[in-house]
Amino acid sequence: DKTTKIIKGKAFIYNSKNENVIFQSENQSWRIEKRSFFICARLLAFIDYARDFSKMTAVGTNFDINQQIFYIKEGSGTLEHLIINEALKDESQLEPLFVTIRHSESYWLILHLISYLDEKKSNIAQIGERYGVSGTHFRRLCKRYLGNCGKSQLRSWRAASSILTTLSTDESLTQIAVDNGFSSASHFSNEIKTLFGITPTEFRRIGQYLYEHKK
């Protein structure tokens, strides 16, 4: 006999064949968001890296890594908001989903790439070799899971990280440049100007202006 289980409330449905996550919620009517599984992997990898990811639940747990439906008893908002909110909890209702993500290749590739964010020389071929594959195959994996080549992705992440630090701290731009893997303050300034159209100094002025007018 085939049993059909009715999903009440909210749920993630993971389709391993095409690597999509369908996020469903019930509020008078059904709302379905079809999102890439890689979005979930990317979010969790960044959160785990910022915390002590060695303590995160991954291998050797009682959870079924082949589970495809993950029920959500409480929570609201978008898929991204829900994942971030749950991932920061000590005990999450989505732990089975996080275990599944942490068993995926996309998660470990992203985590590996993030670990090179603060290195001045990001040689993708060497990063790929340390991951255990050839440089060519690593580039192929980055394109598949990130939609971008590894070097360009590192460049974007490094720039975003440095601008967040620029806006949220009083650290000198030289120190921020060094901490984020730039060879010099001028390299940092030129890179940010190329990517965003304004320099780190201008970003900081804008941040200070907005902060003052918030008071």
Measure the CA–CA gap between 30 and 125, rounded to whole angstroms.
Answer: 46
Q: Tell which residue, 131, 132, 72, 123, has the closest CA to residue 97.
A: 72
Q: What values do phi and psi take at 45, rounded to 5?
A: -60, -45
Q: Rounded CA gap, 21 and 1, in Å?
A: 28
What residue spans define the domains of the chain?
Answer: 10-105, 152-212
> What CATH number matches the domain at 152-212, 2.40.50.140, 1.10.10.60, 3.40.50.1220, 3.40.50.970?
1.10.10.60
Percentage of the chain with pLDDT > 90?
A: 25
Residue 155: pLDDT above 60?
Answer: yes
Identify the residue whose tokens are 């908001």: 81
Of 174, 178, 179, 200, the residue nearest 189 (C-alpha): 200
The pLDDT value given to residue 76: 62
Rounded to whole angstroms, the Cα distance separating 57 from 95 reads 8
What values do phi and psi take at 90, rounded to 5? Answer: -65, -40
Q: Which residue has the higher pLDDT, 60 or 118?
A: 118
Orientation of helix 124-131 relative to helix 135-146, angle to 10°: 90
Segment 160-215, tens digit of pLDDT: 989 999 988 999 999 999 888 888 899 999 999 999 999 999 999 988 877 675 55
Whole-prediction pTM: 0.71
- CB of 113 closer than 8 Å to CB of 130: no
pLDDT tens profile 119-143: 766 688 899 999 999 989 999 999 9
**Segment 75-109, tens digit of pLDDT:** 566 777 888 888 888 888 788 888 888 888 889 99
pLDDT digits (tens, 9 = 90+) for 8-48: 556 566 655 555 555 555 554 555 566 677 888 888 998 88
Distances from the Cα of 171 to the Cαs of 131, 176, 194, 210, in angstroms? Answer: 33, 7, 22, 18
